[in-house]
Structure 1
């Protein structure tokens, strides 16, 4: 399966997917409109169609039906953000190969493409499962934060900083739940009855970032036919959450610094200063203290923002929390579908707990939602329901023929061959560096010249406590 048609409402997404799949030796065509995609399909046949569910000129269901009329043999994978799972179930029952939640995970995407190419066509049993009436459904679960020592430490900090008016920086890997923590801080504050406005700074274009954040006056630029209130005005009296703040252009950083210091904003094209009472919570997956003072992030803005800093641990740093999140997302998916909660068999559950979760809680949520759709006739999630990157995780790293200890970790002490000798040397070197930096894993990764995620994988495989 080599010829892929990407249909996404964002040109940037089309370009990213085209570059990524082209590197994987696929021939890729792109479009941002469903109707244009249908015209392309009439002129040429594609092996796979990767389509956004919510297109500007049609919906996923309508688009799928039209594609079936033109090219019934084409495989289709749909993607989207916060799409109703009932619609996904309907499409899978009609013959769609898969559904992937956005933001996309590269490994999950490749797994789905390979499965579609191998002719894998999952039949969800959900159509035969009785729908629960709203009154019979379980009570909506409350937010799950985890029971591990690190999770409890984070919540203690939230309880401490929440009632204050401090600006907060939340640092952590992608998918660790930074926005959920920001909402929790807001709920603990005196501003809890005010608005909470979340802004993804990574999606703000350089040209329109100022307008989106601070608003604009009518006629301020081409296309500004109306006066617009920005996110800061919308958040007045409440909290504004600036996700991926390191992506803000430098000129916007200057305006943001003024808003923090003077508590006033000025609309694009305006002359009047508008007072705003807003608490700022910023989030980043980068180390702002290291990035500040460079050409990409202002040092004075960093020092103004970091009245309080929360470092969110990755999921692999608190594996004891994984079962709680699995149960939470099973419950959440059950309520969304209006169906009984699926169960996870022992084999699948062990795989979920062993996996490295580079995408953290967000990736786990997407996997549980997807796997629920493919549960068997008894509503049980088995190994075959999981993405191949998870079901084949351990064997894909060093090979399934490697010896393991009683916990399932790689043994590095039983053989004298070249590979085992190399593993022993690697284990010894990692331990030396960890002891030298007092078990600071970020510093250890820098000394070893590897990514921090890679270090955690090696710690687990070499049976080194992390």
Structure 2
């Protein structure tokens, strides 16, 4: 058991556990909010989650249920002070590995973690024994493999840049597998035996970003009861993956630039410079060059990071890979559920091929997993088992109004009025872009160089259906 996520609303508890567990050779990430932890768990897997039962923003039961859905293989140890015995028993029955009372006893904590490790080893051994006649494992589609020209081109680029020490920017829409691609790069580099630390920059607020990335000294701020080791120190010698890097606050961008140029970091509240040797792979679903031109992202940091850039195409641009991914996820889900591999009826398969997949490979995986629960008596996935957004997709395209109808709904002030003319022109441009990108609003916002939320506001203002 190598990677542990600590979730506790008390910063002092997070720091204490982080320091203690790192000394025991565990990789540790800490989060102070339950909802943010759930967002992180959608993108990154942990072997063990050590969580406070009484989180302020989500109940212990709800948190456990959500983690069980997103990370079913992760072990969970809950902790709390003056927790009702009935709740403890209920959580253990649900599948929690242990429930530890606060204040924490170090020996009791390590014993609970070791017990969870043993359970994981036994489970993996049982799964291995039960699949002794399996075919050789296929590469995971999450790792952006495929048979299309675009997929093969990415694989070739990974082979070229992987063995180098170049900093890499991976650009692509949400759900295209940017973190998996970063792990591929790490695995074929000379750093493969060293740590790979993934950081979701979207979860780092201005208040905690510096501490999480670079660590802090004891007493650096209120609640800093212990010295903290940041992600960069944890990744020393290896690779750090900065997902959604465009969300980093400007002052953190400056500190990151210095770390890249000088190869040293300084803890929050500290004066000592700490040498680091870390390869940076950054990912974004935005155009960083455009953001740097509008002062939302430092231009010098962009050019320092983009020693090599990889563009991951969305799933809709490589439809020839879709059958491979569907088959893989059907097979993967059958093993996960312990059921025979589900089959798609012709209508269901046609609907999957026609859909535009705004959530890309991640959305496809979730659809296949969910639909596999609702097979018919012959183990086929029928069309009515698919989400309504997929079954109704073709009809929704047919119901999109023509430009002339839409322009009639644009708010007007006076005929020939400058504001009215501008609104009409803006509406026409938005409709043109939406049609070109097959009504993918994320892509449309990128082409229009505006935030997706801004696009939704404009669509509502212009009476264009969202």
TM-score by length of 2: 0.62
Please report how far the alpha carbon of residue 311 of structure 1 lies from its aligned counterpart in structure 2 after TM superposition.
Answer: 1.0
Please report how far the alpha carbon of residue 80 of structure 1 lies from its aligned counterpart in structure 2 after TM superposition.
Answer: 4.8
Q: Check whether the contact 2:319–2:353 (CA below 8 A) recurs between aligned residues.
A: yes
Question: For 2:212 and 2:430, how far apart are their aligned partners in 1?
Answer: 39
Q: Check whether the contact 1:186–1:239 (CA below 8 A) recurs between aligned residues.
A: yes
Q: Check whether the contact 2:167–2:307 (CA below 8 A) recurs between aligned residues.
A: yes
Structure 2 residue aligned with 1:82? 71
Please report how far the alpha carbon of residue 272 of structure 1 lies from its aligned counterpart in structure 2 after TM superposition.
Answer: 0.9
Please report how far the alpha carbon of residue 339 of structure 1 lies from its aligned counterpart in structure 2 after TM superposition.
Answer: 2.4
What secondary structure does 2:332 align onto? helix
Note the residue ranges of structure 2 that are not aligned, 5 or more in a row.
1-32, 39-51, 75-128, 406-425, 441-466
Aligned residue runs from structure 1 range 163-242, under 5 A = 163-242=163-242
Query: What root-mean-square deviation, in Å, do the aligned CA atoms of Structure 1 and Structure 2 show?
Result: 3.6
Q: Check whether the contact 1:245–1:284 (CA below 8 A) recurs between aligned residues.
A: yes
Q: 1:58 to 1:12 in 2, by over 3 A?
A: closer
Please report how far the alpha carbon of residue 83 of structure 1 lies from its aligned counterpart in structure 2 after TM superposition.
Answer: 3.6
Question: 1:257-285, CA deviations, whole angstroms, 9 ceiling, x for partnerless residues?
Answer: 01100111111111111111100000000
Structure 2 residue aligned with 1:71? none
Does 1:56 pair with 2:60?
yes
What secondary structure does 2:274 align onto? strand
Structure 2 residue aligned with 1:391? 391
What secondary structure does 2:438 align onto? helix
Please report how far the alpha carbon of residue 224 of structure 1 lies from its aligned counterpart in structure 2 after TM superposition.
Answer: 1.3
Does 1:455 pair with 2:444?
no
TM-score by length of 1: 0.62
Question: For 2:53 and 2:139, how far apart are their aligned partners in 1?
Answer: 38
Q: Check whether the contact 1:356–1:457 (CA below 8 A) recurs between aligned residues.
A: yes
Does 1:157 pair with 2:160?
no
Question: 1:76-101, CA deviations, whole angstroms, 9 ceiling, x for partnerless residues?
Answer: x999533459xxxxxxxxxxxxxxxx
Structure 2 residue aligned with 1:317? 317
Please report how far the alpha carbon of residue 298 of structure 1 lies from its aligned counterpart in structure 2 after TM superposition.
Answer: 0.5
Q: Check whether the contact 1:191–1:238 (CA below 8 A) recurs between aligned residues.
A: yes
Question: For 1:36 and 1:211, how far apart are their aligned partners in 2?
Answer: 21
Question: For 1:447 and 1:167, how far apart are their aligned partners in 2?
Answer: 40
Q: Check whether the contact 1:202–1:244 (CA below 8 A) recurs between aligned residues.
A: yes
What secondary structure does 2:280 align onto? strand
What secondary structure does 1:199 align onto? strand
Question: For 1:237 and 1:36, how far apart are their aligned partners in 2?
Answer: 35
Q: Check whether the contact 1:141–1:332 (CA below 8 A) recurs between aligned residues.
A: no
Q: Check whether the contact 1:168–1:309 (CA below 8 A) recurs between aligned residues.
A: yes
Q: Check whether the contact 2:403–2:431 (CA below 8 A) recurs between aligned residues.
A: no
Q: 1:208 to 1:139 in 2, by over 3 A?
A: same
Note the residue ranges of structure 1 that are not aligned, 5 or more in a row.
1-8, 15-32, 38-50, 62-76, 86-131, 403-418, 424-444, 460-466
Q: Check whether the contact 1:201–1:247 (CA below 8 A) recurs between aligned residues.
A: yes
Question: 1:114-159, CA deviations, whole angstroms, 9 ceiling, x for partnerless residues?
Answer: xxxxxxxxxxxxxxxxxx9343566543223111111111111111
Please report how far the alpha carbon of residue 457 of structure 1 lies from its aligned counterpart in structure 2 after TM superposition.
Answer: 1.5
Question: For 1:152 and 1:446, how far apart are their aligned partners in 2?
Answer: 38
Question: 1:267-308, CA deviations, whole angstroms, 9 ceiling, x for partnerless residues?
Answer: 111111111110000000011111114332101100100111
Does 1:336 pair with 2:336?
yes
Q: Check whether the contact 1:133–1:338 (CA below 8 A) recurs between aligned residues.
A: no
What secondary structure does 1:292 align onto? helix
Structure richer in helix, relative to its length: 2
Does 1:254 pair with 2:242?
no
Q: Check whether the contact 2:34–2:55 (CA below 8 A) recurs between aligned residues.
A: no
Task: Identify the structure with bigger relative contact order (alpha carbons < 8 Å, sequence gap 6+).
Answer: 1
Question: For 2:161 and 2:427, how far apart are their aligned partners in 1?
Answer: 31
Aligned residue runs from structure 1 range 373-388, under 5 A = 373-388=373-388
Q: Check whether the contact 1:246–1:297 (CA below 8 A) recurs between aligned residues.
A: yes
Question: For 1:453 and 1:242, how far apart are their aligned partners in 2?
Answer: 30
Question: For 2:330 and 2:308, how far apart are their aligned partners in 1?
Answer: 34
Does 1:300 pair with 2:308?
no
Aligned residues: 322
